[in-house]
Chain A
Amino acid sequence: MKLYMKYFSMHLKSQMQYKTSFLFTTLGQFLVAFATFISISFLFMRFDSVGGFSYEEVLICFAVMMMAFSSSELIGRGFDRFPVLLGNGAFDRVLVRPRNVVFQVLASQVDFSRLGRFVQAVAILIYALPRSGIDWTFGRVLTLILMIACGAFVFFVLFVVYAAFSFFTIEGLEFMNVLTDGGREHGRFPFSIYGDGVLRFLTYIVPLALVQYYPLLYLVGREDNVLYALTPLLAMLFAVPGYAFFRFGLNRYKSTGS
């Protein structure tokens, strides 16, 4: 952890070398997220609810997913940029250092410009939470925190899976973006609105619904079963196959070297 903080401060120093670039990228991130917010608002000017969810509920959903995604990207960018690491040989350097490989890849990037999205998400939560009419109990606060924390974790595992794929091919990795960026973009609405097939996929295969749809039902008081609040913890099991796949890819890399 101490070593991670060391890396962290190095990244901060590096990125602060280019303050203007940092400011504009952060602003850009903020604006892109803002545009999504506007589009949701316009939608709700015409309709009262989407798939049975109110404006405030959708905003909470949107903000939670964006917060999860941006914190995951903030620290997990090393995996997102992993093909570059492989391509320029920097990964070989990782392998000659006496530290855990996943740790080093994680520490290889911290992208502070992602704070732009994060700030946007915080602002929306501040707007939507008091208006949502949620009856705040300890359990509900905890549910909200779990959604964000476990959501960030699931996105992070998705980045690791993405990185693992790049051990095998550098082409056609775009399909993973359907899950990462797509998960964020489509996650602004509760996943149930996309139909049963999608919901099932996001429950059993890529457990994004476990950090979004199910706990949301509990959070807004549509479901009283406490299990719904705890599904985000279940989603963390996704790390097991995710990590195994990464190790598998790593072994293959070590035997093929490309």
Chain B
Amino acid sequence: MITLQNINKTFRVAKRGAGFARAAKALFSREYETVHALSDVSFSVQGGEMVGYIGPNGAGKSTTIKIMCGILTPDSGVCQINGRTPWKERVAHVREIGVVFGQRSQLWWDVPVMDSFELIRDIYKVNANTYQRNLDELVEILDLSEILKTPARSLSLGQRMRCEIVASLLHDPNILFLDEPTIGLDAVSKIAVRQFIKRLNKERGTTVLLTTHDMQDIEALTERIVLIGKGQILLDGSLAELKARSPEGANAEEMVAALYKEYEI
């Protein structure tokens, strides 16, 4: 169960022009610009729900995810996840969530994937039985048995992403944040990842919040989408609703493009 109420977040960004003269000037006086990364963001996600969190680059998706993971503290607003405020009770909070950053690996580059998994087991203090059960199950579903002894550097991107997902589920989180999980994957891997997420949600009731630019992910996985643009929640509704207000015969990609245009983001 996730609730966000009126979350605000601003960043101060140093303005710096191009060229030597301006760089020299910046040494002495910095001009700052306040960027509103999130303004009044509110939404809630029920346990077991699967939500697609979409928006153009720089809209505030990652900032929201970081706040929900306890990495960032917002300027104001309330966020409750499993009854806790993430940035106040970081350790207890992160025990119950899983996070996959599509563009960053949590696997050790030079050692067999299995070793990374075992380290994660120890970090989260997962008991031996739970670990074995989870590992066997995940490895079977994601078809990884043959690559467990391979170092991460020798894996293909698709294999690695599947391992990343396993790595973030070994401790039985009840919420999973997926930040662009299918980025750069080939068609076969994408489908494998999607099927897996669907199954996870169905069988374990894991709450999934997913950001993506791939509209097929959204179509395949989520019934509900939350659209963010320029730090504001613009739309929160079902995919069906969105379809109804879009031009006839448009695919997901076109619908979202139309939305971005409509909200001028």
Contacts and interface: CB of A to CB of B under 8 A. Distances in A.
Interface of A: 2-3, 6-7, 10, 13-14, 17-18, 88-90, 92-93, 95-99, 251, 254-258
A251 B111 CA distance: 33
Given A6-B122, A254-B72, A98 B104 contact: no
Given A10-B119, A17-B151, A254-B73, 4 more contacts: A17-B111, A92-B66, A92-B101, A97-B94
Contact count band on B: 20 to 34
B69 A96 contact: yes
Interface of B: 11-12, 63, 66, 69-73, 75, 87, 90-92, 94-95, 97, 99, 101, 103-104, 106, 108-111, 115, 118-119, 122-124, 151
Q: Which 5 A-B pairs have the closest CB atoms?
A: A14-B110, A98-B95, A17-B110, A95-B71, A254-B73
Contacts of B151: 17
13 contacts: A3-B123, A6-B118, A6-B122, A14-B110, A14-B111, A17-B111, A89-B104, A92-B71, A92-B101, A92-B104, A95-B71, A95-B90, A255-B73
Contact of B122 (A2, A90, A255): A2
B115 A13 contact: yes
Given A10-B108, A13-B110, A257 B123 contact: no
Main secondary structure of the interface of A (DSSP, over half): helix
A217 to B, nearest CB: 44
Given A3-B123, A6-B119, A93 B109 contact: no
Contact of B71 (A2, A13, A257): A257
Contact of B106 (A93, A95, A98, A257): A93
Given A13-B111, A90-B104, A98-B124, A257 B63 contact: yes
B71 A98 contact: no
A257 B110 contact: no
Contacts of B90: 95
B123 A96 contact: no
Contact of A257 (B72, B95, B115, B122): B72
A98 B91 contact: yes
B110 A98 contact: no
Contacts of B101: 89, 92-93
